[in-house]
Structure 1
Amino acid sequence: MDPGAADQTPALRLAAVLLTGGTLHFAVPRFFDGIIPAQLPGPARTYTRVSGIAALGIGAGLSVSRTRRTSAALACGFFVAVLPAKVQLAVDWWPKGRVAATIGIAQLFWQIPLITESIRAHRRAPAPHR
Structure 2
Amino acid sequence: MPLTTPPLDKATIGLATLFLTSGTTHLVRPQTFEGIVPHVLPRKRELVYVSGVAEIVCALGLLHPRTRKAAGLASAALLVGVFPANVQMTADHARRAQRRGDTGSKAFFAGTVARLPLQLPLIRTALRAAGRL
Question: Which band: TM-score by shorter chain?
Answer: 0.7 to 0.9
2:61 counterpart residue number: 61
2:118 counterpart residue number: 110
Gaps of 5+ in 1: 1-5, 125-130
Give me the TM-score of the superposition, normalised by structure 1.
0.83
2:22 counterpart residue number: 21
Q: Which moved more, 1:108-117 or 1:65-74?
A: 108-117
2:12 counterpart residue number: 11
Task: Determine if contact 1:90/1:107 at 8 Å carries over to the other structure.
Answer: no
Query: What is the number of residues matched between the two proteins?
Result: 118
Does residue 81 of the first structure (1) align with residue 89 of the second (2)?
no
Equivalent residues in 2 for 1:20-39 (5 A)? Answer: 20-39=21-40
Does residue 48 of the first structure (1) align with residue 56 of the second (2)?
no
Deviations 1:49-108 (A, max 9, x none): 000000011111111111111100100000000011010011011232321111211332
Shift >3 Å, 4+ stretches: none
Give me the TM-score of the superposition, normalised by structure 2.
0.82
Gaps of 5+ in 2: 1-5, 98-104
The alignment-based identity, stated in percent, is 33
Distance in 2, Cα, partners of 1:122 & 1:65 = 10
